[in-house]
Structure 1
Amino acid sequence: MSVVEVRPPRPDSAPSRAGLLGRIGSAAARRFRVTLVLWLVVIAGLGALAPKAMTDLAGAGWQADGSASVQVRDLAQRHFGGAASSALQVVVHTDRGTVDDPAARSVIAEATALLSADHRVAGVVAPQPGATVSKDGRTAILLAGARADTNDMVRAADDLKAPLAALSGHGVTVSATGSSVLWSDFNEANHNAMLHSEIMSWPVTMAILVLAFGSMVAAGLPLLLTISGLASAAGALVLLNHLTPVSIWAMNFAMMFALALGIDYALFLVVRFRAALARRGDAVEAVAETMDTAGKAVALSGATVLVSLSAVMLVPVPAFRSMAAGIMLAVAFVLAATLTLLPAILGRLGRKVDNGRLPWARKAAESETEEADGSPRFASWGERLWRHPLRYGLPALVVLLALAAPLIGLRTAMPSITVVPPDASARVGYTAVQAAFGPGMPGTLQIVAPAAEADAVRAAAGATPGIAAVTPAQSATDGSGLVMVQAVPTVDPSSKALGATVDHLRAALPEHALVGGAAVENLDLQSALDARTPLVIGVVLGLGFVLLLLALRAPLAALAGTLTSLLSTAAAFGVARLVFQDGHGSGLLGFTPQGFLDGWAPVFFFAMIFAIAMDYTVFLLAAAKEHFELTGDPHRAVTGALRHSGRVIFAAAGVMVAVFFTFALSGPLPPKEMGVILGVAVFLDAALIRLVLLPVLLRLLGRSAWACPRGLARLLPDIRFSH
């Protein structure tokens, strides 16, 4: 007796009845005006809030919630006059005389007045000889305590760094630095670079869309979805920001995903709509068929993307969680527009969807062969893969494994000061502090402990290898019975040796002492990311497999789709190690390698890459399942899937690769990392996995790819992709 169940094909005579998505799509098409008005209300209502996203969203949030260093920052803000890691540091340097000369003292007085007038500053601590005045007397540091939270302190840095720099003159230089200023400069530099890259990518995107669709009207539909989803998501982010801080980066990534998925979904639906319209002749019926087939794949793809990104919520980093939330909102709105607004527009346009056809596309359309039967070129490619699976599958696998091999030696760390431009305020001040006080001064450690442990804390810090100086214990300003001791390391904050110093110090300190400071917050953040990355990867893979299993009722096909997505991700990070850690091609891309990959890349970029890869996986496997349901023939399932989805995958990937690689040309390092990693991942996934390796696996598995144990089949929903 067979232990598996393979669904028989549906007889050709079986009546065709629209499913849920088909009914939704046809209802939207019949009620075009109602659908359009509802969407205009949503877009206008939320879109009116969208401009506030650039100013209202948060600039900080890069921290490991619950870590000892975050506790120290909170204690320092509450009990030590705002002397937390988020406080602003203002460096005053004179080339003539010392900071005690009248010109420098006048500048210090003006800077103090400027800082004191800001409501987010708790108080200003004047330069202290022997502590914040250099031995040569040429450099002094003002400390502006943090009265507000980290996000507001970044906004304070946005507002104050330029007026402070304007005080420079007559041989005196003023520059704001510190953690809050660093994040201000970091966000500004990267936001400008990403915006520039997005502007550069639009002409390329439009050109590829016109080539892919063959008509100007059809090419504009992805942009309609993008604008609808992005405007709505941006307004929703502003509203969400009133409940919990949302990172400004959420907007950047939401824009990118809205564009990417808007293009993918529109391509898939419009291509299928054209084919259905060529067969049926009635636009509403064509919409119903399109939504019952390709619409289900789009819905599954959207669910997979949302599930993949939801796993990022497991990382206790506010910036990560809000960025994931931003992308998820954009995906949700684009998906909603794809399932309602796009069918309504397609139903209204009918054959007008092909208005503005290019000459070569018009000639191909005259025979209607391409529209009714899909792409003959990709059908021919599918036949070739079916006849010679190992000839093409093995080389693709070897290339992917070779590119993934360098992943073994990948190192990650939080970025150094070099991620901001040389003329940025934070970097100028940082360099001046190091020159005047030593390499470890910008990474000064803060130790908070009960007053009774003050002597023990100072003794332990003084005896710790890697500590250059220890300050006297400072009592809390509110009588809380706490003291703060500051320890200056011997090395730069980005040095790997600092981590060992902090570990030794924590082991030697009394039980109730906590170690913090901006540099330690970075170390704790890196530790949190390292600890949660395996969990996030496991959850993403597991949930992705479950979703495919629920939709396909085919464990082997679902497993093949999931594991091949992991392979393209591994290859992309292998390339990232060669480029950003080892420096291959750094001259061409215009950056200086740090010797590691930025710490947030593995967990966050993995979720993004896997989401995009599963997008293509769903398109291909849904098309294959549709053809298997209709024919029961694994051969026709593979070739039919490539015929009807191969061109979509190829064109959508081309757009995304072009978009991502424009980020690789940006000035700052983080957008370069994102552009190269995501661009390589999408290219490899489309070219070697979805169009070669996955069809080969389906060929080798044959009918077993679509088989399901009877016991499992009784537990799974009966979802059909054929109409």
Structure 2
Amino acid sequence: MTRPTTKRPAAERPATRLQRWGGFVARRRVPVLVAWLAVLVAAGLFYPHVEGRLGAPDYSVQGSESSKAQSLLAERFPALGAEQGVLVFRSARLTADAPEYRRTVDRVIAAVAAHGAAPHSPYAGPGRISADRHVAVAAFAMSGSRADRAKKADELQRRTRDAAAGGPVEAYLTGASAITNDLSDAELRDQEVAESIGIPIALIALLLAFGAVVAAVLPVVVATASVAVCTALLGLLAGALNLDRFVTVVATVIGVGVGIDYALFMISRFREELARRTRPGVVPSRDDVRASVGVAVRTSGRTVLTAGLIVMVALGSMALIRGHIFMEIAIAAGLMVACCLVASLTVLPALLSLLGHRVNLGALPHRFRPADLTPGGASGPGRWSRWASVVLRHPYRLGIPALLLLGAMCLPLPTIKLGVDWGLASLTGTPSGKGQQIVATAFSPGAVGPVQVVGCGGDAATGMGRLAAAAGGDRRTARVLPAGQSGDCAAMQIVLKERVDSPAASAFVRNLRSDLVPRAFAGTGAHVRVGGLTAEYVDLSDETTGKLPLVVAVILTLSFCYLLVVFRSVLVPVKAVLLNLLATVAALGVTTQVFQHGLGSGVLGFTSSGTLQAYLPVALFALLFGLSMDYEVFLVGRIQEERQATRDDTRAIPAALDHTARQITAAASIMVIVFGALLFARVLELKQFGFGLAFAVFLDATVVRLLLVPAVMGVAGRANWWLPGWLDRRLPTAWKE
């Protein structure tokens, strides 16, 4: 049984800068809330314009072979364009020779040409009408930036639909930009579905965690405000940074989860402190409310600030990778976390100061309320304290199986294969999706995204001729389209029988670069570049694989150094880094098993493409490692606080777990709910992101935080807080209590 302690009240300790900040916000609550309201109104007025400013996804890698190929083609072969748009015509009743069919084709081509495009008529050359003559295609070049091409494709799709409306022939526009536009719309719908599912369930979890309606609603209000402001900010930056719908969906979901979590930690500590200062049946004074706000900011605010900064550091490490998509994710998610931090340290303390004891309105029956909210703070050891005592008595018996379980989950990771899934399975009802399916069936799945080869200098023409013969004889090739010469450069396009985003297409590009091109251009003296969408995806995969160890090393090192300063301990950050690394790798291993190998695909409603999204391992690692620090800092920070009061580790760990386990469980449940709601998405990459994040948080909050952390710290004892004197004197003192 735990003996009563004479812990010095937190409010009586010397005030830190964070505590003084909390007191300042509590006193200035009205101006703070008015300022936030003004910002929210401005964000709301700008919000309708955000969608129009978002661009197309950019999977390019700066300085890669595919990027250089695209630059050469744009400079020397502008007629090829940056990509190929394809008008697709189909009639179940008419053939392409029928006059009505021809009139529809001519009318659509004229409408598209009026907007600056120049489609080649299906009747102007071979290979543009299907064998059964019911399908015809008209290809044309699209130039300009990705954002310009996306806007042009949107307008051309509208013109195509209007020109063919009411006629006997279906007409669709497909191609990279058209598919991207429809995919963005699908992701927006998926986001709305995820929010409509996740937020109500999160509210129920909050109600069970807090035992009061007002306290449960408050985190959702603060998180929603943070997301609204940051979404407007991302909209302002979208044009300059070429942000797209996918990263804003990911950032929004992260913002909702993180914002609710941060508010949950702060509100829990505020209610605990207010209860400790309040006698039964007595309304707390204004000074008690302000003091409670100050302590909540000093303790949980410190946790929130530390965890948030670690998340942003982890996300910032993705700047080491040259892929544009990594920059987008880092900026969008980093800004969202920053907005949640600012809201947690400004508007939330102001609201708590304004509400005071009214934060407990709408209370559930007593048995559903947290035990540490008894007025006067009197409550005995709870079930989490008893659980911690069990773990401390049997650390090896419980800890070793947990470690083995995490290790087993890591086993699929070495088999990981990276690629980029276009999301075509989610676009079956869209114009571009229908067009792509028709082209794939009637001609070739790779027709809308041919592999491009450009060679300059030496005898490039001879080499290109040899390559055309070699590629034409490859069983994976549907057609070879020579693009001619421009000065000392020659180019060609290779249409594959495989989907642009398929593993087989990626394998062809690798074989093309490593074998076919070197043999064809041997002795010619030409410099050759292989480009196109598939080559771009291959370069992104290679860049991710090559830079992942560096990113992991940077995240681990910076996180260790930061926690060293925060906790003034060597073992605590070592333990945190190693356990977080293990949990994150385990989550990636399970994600690989599910989405690459198809485990449970029927239950989750997807067909495995045989790969994970190329950017997923790095993005998930950075996000998961950062997010897992929330619970680490929250729990270990409370252990440290209890130990400073009792000087007894065997009592500090159960006491800390008693005060934090309910909040950690609730916070993790909310994260799992919010992220897991993405499993209802139709777009595969959103499913992968949602599953990876949700499973990792579940793993971290249960196996790691509530079992391995107390077990390891219990075994270590006093060594947890060992820090050499020479190192202590050299560490910054900003976080020292």
TM-score by length of 1: 0.91
User: Which residues in structure 2 correspond to 1:344-383 (within 5 Å)?
Assistant: 344-360=350-366, 368=374, 376-383=382-389
DSSP-derived class of the 2:240 partner = coil
Give the aligned residue type for 1:232.
V
- Summarize deviations over 1:490-543 as a string: whole Å, max 9, x none: 544314332343322443445322221222222222222222222222222222
- C-alpha contact (below 8 Å) 2:478/2:497 kept by paired residues: yes
DSSP-derived class of the 1:653 partner = helix
> What corresponds to 1:396 in structure 2?
402
- C-alpha contact (below 8 Å) 1:458/1:470 kept by paired residues: no
Shift of 1:350: 1.6
Q: For 2:166 and 2:656, locate their aligned partners in 1 and report how far apart those are by CA, in whole Å.
A: 69
Q: What is the aligned counterpart of 1:694 among 701, 709, 729?
A: 709
Change in CA separation of 1:96 and 1:309 when aligned onto 2, cut-off 3 Å: same
- Summarize deviations over 1:662-701 as a string: whole Å, max 9, x none: 2213333222222222211111111100010111111111
> What corresponds to 2:63 in structure 1?
66
Shift of 1:270: 1.2
Q: For 2:114 and 2:423, locate their aligned partners in 1 and report how far apart those are by CA, in whole Å.
A: 29
Shift of 1:171: 5.1
Q: What is the aligned counterpart of 1:200 among 194, 197, 201?
A: 197
User: Which residues in structure 2 correspond to 1:102-501 (within 5 Å)?
Assistant: 102-118=99-115, 121-127=116-122, 128-134=124-130, 137-165=133-161, 167=164, 172-281=169-278, 282-360=288-366, 368=374, 376-415=382-421, 418-450=424-456, 453-464=460-471, 465=474, 466-467=476-477, 469-476=479-486, 482-493=489-500, 494-496=502-504, 497-501=507-511
Q: What is the aligned counterpart of 2:20 among 16, 23, 30?
A: 23
Unaligned segments of structure 1, at least 5 residues: 1-8
Change in CA separation of 1:198 and 1:366 when aligned onto 2, cut-off 3 Å: closer
> What corresponds to 2:518 in structure 1?
507
Q: For 2:79 and 2:712, locate their aligned partners in 1 and report how far apart those are by CA, in whole Å.
A: 60
> What corresponds to 2:664 in structure 1?
649
Change in CA separation of 1:702 and 1:719 when aligned onto 2, cut-off 3 Å: farther
> What corresponds to 1:664 in structure 2?
679
Q: For 1:213 and 1:11, locate their aligned partners in 2 and report how far apart those are by CA, in whole Å.
A: 26
DSSP-derived class of the 2:363 partner = coil
Q: What is the aligned counterpart of 1:683 among 686, 692, 698?
A: 698
> What corresponds to 2:285 in structure 1?
none
Give the aligned residue type for 2:428.
P
Q: For 1:459 and 1:93, locate their aligned partners in 2 and report how far apart those are by CA, in whole Å.
A: 36
Give the aligned residue type for 2:139.
L
- C-alpha contact (below 8 Å) 1:551/1:717 kept by paired residues: no
Give the aligned residue type for 2:118.
G
Change in CA separation of 1:419 and 1:316 when aligned onto 2, cut-off 3 Å: farther
Q: For 1:594 and 1:12, locate their aligned partners in 2 and report how far apart those are by CA, in whole Å.
A: 57
After superposing the two structures, state which structure 1 stretch, 12-21 or 246-255, moved more. Answer: 12-21
- Summarize deviations over 1:235-254 as a string: whole Å, max 9, x none: 11122124221122232122
- C-alpha contact (below 8 Å) 2:595/2:601 kept by paired residues: yes
- C-alpha contact (below 8 Å) 1:625/1:721 kept by paired residues: no
TM-score by length of 2: 0.90
Change in CA separation of 1:159 and 1:721 when aligned onto 2, cut-off 3 Å: farther
DSSP-derived class of the 2:173 partner = strand
After superposing the two structures, state which structure 1 stretch, 459-468 or 29-38, moved more. Answer: 459-468
Change in CA separation of 1:587 and 1:374 when aligned onto 2, cut-off 3 Å: farther
Q: For 1:13 and 1:286, locate their aligned partners in 2 and report how far apart those are by CA, in whole Å.
A: 9
Give the aligned residue type for 1:158.
D
Change in CA separation of 1:270 and 1:511 when aligned onto 2, cut-off 3 Å: same
Q: For 1:374 and 1:76, locate their aligned partners in 2 and report how far apart those are by CA, in whole Å.
A: 74
- C-alpha contact (below 8 Å) 2:565/2:732 kept by paired residues: yes
Q: For 1:502 and 1:195, locate their aligned partners in 2 and report how far apart those are by CA, in whole Å.
A: 42
- C-alpha contact (below 8 Å) 2:11/2:295 kept by paired residues: no
Give the aligned residue type for 2:324.
P
Give the aligned residue type for 1:107.
T
Change in CA separation of 1:220 and 1:364 when aligned onto 2, cut-off 3 Å: closer
Shift of 1:648: 1.0
Q: For 1:406 and 1:177, locate their aligned partners in 2 and report how far apart those are by CA, in whole Å.
A: 36
Q: For 1:13 and 1:647, locate their aligned partners in 2 and report how far apart those are by CA, in whole Å.
A: 21
Give the aligned residue type for 2:136.
A
Shift of 1:652: 0.5
- C-alpha contact (below 8 Å) 2:84/2:139 kept by paired residues: yes
User: Which residues in structure 2 correspond to 1:564-603 (within 5 Å)?
Assistant: 564-603=579-618
- Identity over the aligned pairs, expressed in percent? 33
Give the aligned residue type for 1:330.
M
> What corresponds to 2:576 in structure 1?
561
Change in CA separation of 1:601 and 1:370 when aligned onto 2, cut-off 3 Å: farther
Give the aligned residue type for 2:238.
N
- C-alpha contact (below 8 Å) 1:246/1:322 kept by paired residues: yes
Shift of 1:585: 1.5
After superposing the two structures, state which structure 1 stretch, 709-718 or 613-622, moved more. Answer: 709-718
Give the aligned residue type for 1:315.
I
> What corresponds to 1:6 in structure 2?
none
- Summarize deviations over 1:27-78 as a string: whole Å, max 9, x none: 0101111111222222223342223222211122122222222233344345
- Summarize deviations over 1:391-436 as a string: whole Å, max 9, x none: 3212222222222222232222221564433333333323333333
Q: For 2:300 and 2:10, locate their aligned partners in 1 and report how far apart those are by CA, in whole Å.
A: 22
Match status 1:80 vs 2:95 = no
Shift of 1:303: 0.5
Give the aligned residue type for 2:196.
I
- Summarize deviations over 1:260-302 as a string: whole Å, max 9, x none: 1122111111111122222335111111122222211111011
- C-alpha contact (below 8 Å) 1:77/1:146 kept by paired residues: no
- C-alpha contact (below 8 Å) 1:622/1:721 kept by paired residues: no
After superposing the two structures, state which structure 1 stretch, 28-37 or 138-147, moved more. Answer: 138-147
Q: For 1:373 and 1:77, locate their aligned partners in 2 and report how far apart those are by CA, in whole Å.
A: 72
> What corresponds to 2:719 in structure 1?
704
User: Which residues in structure 2 correspond to 1:612-627 (within 5 Å)?
Assistant: 612-627=627-642
After superposing the two structures, state which structure 1 stretch, 349-358 or 637-646, moved more. Answer: 637-646
Give the aligned residue type for 1:657.
V
DSSP-derived class of the 1:124 partner = coil
Give the aligned residue type for 1:197.
A
Q: What do you get for the CA RMSD once the two structures are aligned?
A: 2.8
After superposing the two structures, state which structure 1 stretch, 12-21 or 287-296, moved more. Answer: 12-21
Unaligned segments of structure 2, at least 5 residues: 1-5, 279-287
Change in CA separation of 1:202 and 1:575 when aligned onto 2, cut-off 3 Å: same
Q: For 1:442 and 1:657, locate their aligned partners in 2 and report how far apart those are by CA, in whole Å.
A: 38
> What corresponds to 1:541 in structure 2?
556
Change in CA separation of 1:294 and 1:691 when aligned onto 2, cut-off 3 Å: same
- Summarize deviations over 1:338-369 as a string: whole Å, max 9, x none: 11221122122221111111123687779817
After superposing the two structures, state which structure 1 stretch, 330-339 or 658-667, moved more. Answer: 658-667
Q: For 2:550 and 2:355, locate their aligned partners in 1 and report how far apart those are by CA, in whole Å.
A: 47
Q: For 1:454 and 1:374, locate their aligned partners in 2 and report how far apart those are by CA, in whole Å.
A: 85
Change in CA separation of 1:620 and 1:370 when aligned onto 2, cut-off 3 Å: farther
- Summarize deviations over 1:94-119 as a string: whole Å, max 9, x none: 4456534422322222222222233x
